Structure 1
């Protein structure tokens, strides 16, 4: 399989990219491109952070494309989420220490995704860990490619109405509700959604100090060495670690980790006073399902997989 990662690189996107690149050979897929979008930070910082992540992995062979600089509809009253800081990496790394922008492709991300799909019909998997602006623009500009996508994996939304940026909206969908609505309305391939609620289930929450730092960072691997300074700032005052985008990436890499999922027809609320951007499911089963919602993963297997990603010795995955 050929994978395109569409991201707004903050620390959890970085984890997702690290996991995917670490897993390519063993799990028989290739990350062929990374496209960036406005989300956790502006698209400029998203590109910069992505290049830094690839630099850590010595993977400058992967092309990086800049995409949408803003969401489809400008909302001056929209709340800004700053969990990742203004630059997406908690302001830890000196902004003057930039990777070479010669590595950024000149083509716009949306055009790049279109070209990859046209050249590889029915082979491209898109892993979206950001607001869905680039994907929605792809659908509206180049609708002929929609049925040629193999599968779409999305971190976002909420299947129980629990929000993290408003009472009823998850960050990625809240950032661009119209884009999310377009994607669920128009996609023809299988969609897999890892929503907000499984990220904060008590069974999946991992102690930040006890597991993330004391276990994963104990062998001084390149991934945690890079991310430790960022996450120690981002998670200051937090007891649990919840790398949402990493959850999605690992369910793609290693689907056996999924313990419970359900198929539903999904649409996105656009007009609700209190529920704008909420993921709405057809519990009455009046419409054909258009997505699989991942509701639970095997936490112990997930932890074991993370140890493997971070070059710890594990008995089996």
Structure 2
């Protein structure tokens, strides 16, 4: 799916994966476009014709498609959320029973140490739509696994690993090398606004951590099961995910917050994923 929230379904689908367009912006507030991270087209602004892929978009809205597919495959769908969570929040409002029909939910977003990359204490995906993040973490009571920003940065890979990945002689590797060639997100030089360097230089494939955890849970070697909640108020705290290890919030649904990763296994999974001729 494409749109503000990017999601991947893992279910008993055919080899053809349909693409659906989702929410254009957050539940509350204006639509704010960030173009410096992955370019104006989300693919690094290096494709000769970035409009071609839009012909693959289905007419059905992503939220309706998600509800339909989950209902058709109850207990079989793993939902992976790799952006702001408007689509998930809208889906649970339309179908409150949706979370109970999921196998599990994997999220790349939020933080666990009060460090932010969009605001002083808020991670990008959650801060861009704090209300949606709040709704999802409160109302998706299925097994929920979170790859936070600090987790991904603390489990970074080397740039040598990145070179090995993208220099494989496959079409997938060549494509990734091309679309990351001019991306600010893949810069190796410290920038004043590049907060990855709070954790040291390195290659951080943010979203891939959540996908890898869904594909093979053993790649995550340590996780904390705890209550989590997103702050929606405050000038500095809005969008921050609060990790409540003692569960003073008295929540019944506890999330699994990823802590450490088997980097050797993770890098091998990334390499295998790009071995498409």
Give the TM bin, normalised by the shorter chain.
Answer: 0.7 to 0.9
1:71 equivalent in alignment to 2:71:
no
1:39 paired residue number: none
Counterpart check, 1:298 vs 2:262:
yes
- Structure 1 segments, 4+ long, off by >6 Å, are none
| Change in CA separation of 1:157 and 1:7 when aligned onto 2, cut-off 3 Å | farther
Structure 1 gap ranges (5+)? 21-28, 34-58, 313-317
Distance (whole Å) between structure 2 residues aligned to residue 271 and residue 206 of structure 1: 35
- What secondary structure sits across from 1:296 in the alignment? strand
1:121-132 to 2 correspondences below 5 Å: 121-132=74-85
Contact 2:167 2:174 in 1 (8 A): no
Give the direction of change, closer, same or farther, for the CA distance of 1:154–1:141 in structure 2 (3 Å limit).
same
In structure 2, relative to structure 1, the CA distance for the partners of 1:30 and 1:220 (3 Å cut) is farther
Residue deviations 1:240-289 (CA, integer Å, cap 9, x gap)? 21111011111111111111101111110000210100001223323245
Q: Structure 1 residues 263 and 96, CA, compared in 2 at 3 Å: closer, same or farther? A: closer
Q: Is 1:266–1:289's contact at 8 Å kept on the other side of the alignment?
A: no
Question: Offset at 1:290?
Answer: 2.1
| Cα offset, 1:173, TM superposition | 0.4
1:211 to 158, 161, 180: 161
TM-score after normalising by structure 1? 0.75
Query: How many aligned positions are there?
Result: 261
Measure, in 2, the Cα distance between the counterparts of 1:199 and 1:268: 19
TM-score (norm 2): 0.85
| Residue in structure 2 matched with residue 233 of structure 1 by the alignment | 182
Once the two structures are superposed, residues 43-69 of structure 1 have per-residue CA deviations (whole angstroms, 9 ceiling, x without a partner) of xxxxxxxxxxxxxxxx6x211111111
